[in-house]
Amino acid sequence: MNYSEIMVRYGELSTKGKNKRKFTMQLAQNVKRALADFPAIKIHGDRDRMHILLNGEQSELIFPKLEKVFGIQSFSPSIRVEKEMPAIREMVKEVIRAAYLPGQTFKITSKRSDHHFELDSNELNRELGGAVFEVFPDIKVQMKKPDINIRVEIRQEAAYLSYETIRGAGGLPVGTAGRGMLMLSGGIDSPVAGYLAMKRGVEIEAVHFASPPYTSEQALQKAKDLAGKLVPYVGSIQFVEVPFTEIQEEIKRVVPQGYWMTVTRRLMLRLTDAIREQREGLVIINGESLGQVASQTLQSMAAINEVTTTPIIRPVVTMDKTEIIELAEKIDTFELAIQPFEDCCTIFAPPQPKTKPRLEKAQEYEARLDVSSLMERALAGLKVSEITGESATDRNSDEFLDLL
């Protein structure tokens, strides 16, 4: 089909009262960014809908990008036709030929915003239903939940036909909730946590702890590649690499084995919080899932969480591993996440971490470290890079041009 525009239905944002304008503006900006490769398109947003005028750009290339923009309930591509009955009838026939499978039901839903048009909406429904019967005489009409609903809209400038409704990503436009620091390891859980936080409007930056030479260049690259998989939802991601070697060596030297993990996590959280403050974030996001490993018991979480009062979102905390994996597959992070590169926590994992660490003990052992100067040095060594795409091979521009 040769579509001329895509009509976008807002998700939850339409219920946000006074903030609605802010939400729709953010959504329009996010759509523009997601479709930056299509320079000819024009976006018009109003209170209830957004219209993306394609101006010759190919809708099939645009759909997959639009499906990753949070804040969209659904969208329908539509065909523009001259506002004359013969032309509209012909297009209805073309649509039904393209859409119909044997045994399916249909209806026509017409709407006029041009009240001077020769037929009213009831007459349009009847007339255009007739056109469908000319093509498929045995097709059945069904008013409630038909298989095919051909929507016809008579506007001032032209008539518009649509019949497909494509489900959007739901959620709220990324950016409307503020900024959050995603603690991104190379595992399965944290990318999913990042995805879910973005779904509720959080714009994320990634914080990754690396302990070279104990952790490899590949492990770092893997974390960056995982961040790359989240880019289509947000446009680009600032990736903050934290040098963590000195701290881990120091912990290993002065803290009893049973508390390595707890103290390590406390330092990670302290550093993430300091980075959040520098970068004007409001929240921290991690991939903790209750009971999954020693550091993720409630006692552990309490002993670790004590270092900050900043809200921490744990989107996967109540999910089973299989549920998390399902989402990881959906956002295409699973295959990458199971590549076996050692993470800083695995390398220093004590044989028997405490599953019920005591807060006073954790504080006591942590006090053996010179926390502030260790943190200062780590913060002085931050490396920030911008992740903008999956990888160089993802967007081969020549190949891309061929498609157009």
In the list Mg ion, ligand ATP, none, the entry touching 92 (Cβ below 5 to 8 angstroms by class) is none
Nearest CB to ligand ATP, comparing residues 104 and 297: 297
Q: Which of 225, 273, 343, 366 binds ligand ATP (CB under 6 A)?
A: 343
Q: Which of 72, 131, 345, 378 binds ligand ATP (CB under 6 A)?
A: 345
Q: Which of 11, 187, 232, 281 binds Mg ion (CB under 5 A)?
A: 187
In the list ligand ATP, Mg ion, none, the entry touching 190 (Cβ below 5 to 8 angstroms by class) is ligand ATP
Nearest CB to ligand ATP, comparing residues 24 and 190: 190
230: its two tokens: 């989240």
Q: In what order do the strands lie in the sheet with 283-285?
A: 312-313, 283-285, 178-183, 202-210, 237-243, 383-387
- In the complex, the smallest distance separating the C-beta of residue 187 from ligand ATP, rounded to whole angstroms, is 2
Residues 182-211 that bind ligand ATP (CB under 6 A): 183-185, 187-190, 207-209
Residues 359-378 that bind Mg ion (CB under 5 A): none
The stretch among 61-69, 153-161, 291-299, 377-385 that binds ligand ATP (CB under 6 A) is 291-299
Q: Is residue 344 part of the contact set for ligand ATP (CB under 6 A)? A: yes
Q: Is residue 287 part of the contact set for ligand ATP (CB under 6 A)? A: yes
133: its two tokens: 């019967």
Q: Is residue 225 part of the contact set for ligand ATP (CB under 6 A)? A: no
Q: Is residue 176 part of the contact set for ligand ATP (CB under 6 A)? A: no
**What angle separates helix 245-254 from helix 371-380, to the nearest 10 degrees?**
160
Q: Which of 73, 105, 292, 308 binds ligand ATP (CB under 6 A)?
A: 292
Q: Which of 4, 30, 78, 185 binds Mg ion (CB under 5 A)?
A: 185
- In the complex, the smallest distance separating the C-beta of residue 241 from ligand ATP, rounded to whole angstroms, is 9
Q: Is residue 245 part of the contact set for ligand ATP (CB under 6 A)? A: no
Site size toward ligand ATP, by CB under 6 A: 19
Nearest CB to Mg ion, comparing residues 212 and 235: 212
In the list ligand ATP, Mg ion, none, the entry touching 31 (Cβ below 5 to 8 angstroms by class) is none
Nearest CB to ligand ATP, comparing residues 63 and 214: 214
- In the complex, the smallest distance separating the C-beta of residue 293 from ligand ATP, rounded to whole angstroms, is 5
3-state secondary structure the chain: CCCCEEEEEECHHHHCHHHHHHHHHHHHHHHHHHCCCCCCCEEEECCCEEEEECCCCCHHHHHHHHCCCCCEEEEEEEEEECCCHHHHHHHHHHHHHHHCCCCCEEEEEEEECCCCCCCCHHHHHHHHHHHHHHHCCCCEECCCCCCEEEEEEECCCCEEEECCCEEEEECECCCCCEEEEEECCCCCHHHHHHHHHHHECEEEEEEEEECCCCCCHHHHHHHHHHHHHHHHHHCCEEEEEEECHHHHHHHHHHCCHHHHHHHHHHHHHHHHHHHHHHCCCCEEECCCCCCCCHHHCHHHHHHHHCCCCCCEECCCCCCCHHHHHHHHHHCCCHHHHCCCCCCHHHHCCCCCCCCCCCHHHHHHHHCCCCHHHHHHHHHHCCEEEEECCCCCCCCCHHHHHHHC
On whether the CB atoms of residues 333 and 188 are closer than 8 A, the answer is yes
Using CB atoms, what's the residue nearest to ligand ATP?
187
Q: Is residue 333 part of the contact set for ligand ATP (CB under 6 A)? A: no
- In the complex, the smallest distance separating the C-beta of residue 187 from Mg ion, rounded to whole angstroms, is 3
Binding site for Mg ion (CB under 5 A): 185, 187
Binding site for ligand ATP (CB under 6 A): 183-185, 187-190, 207-209, 286-288, 292-293, 295, 343-345
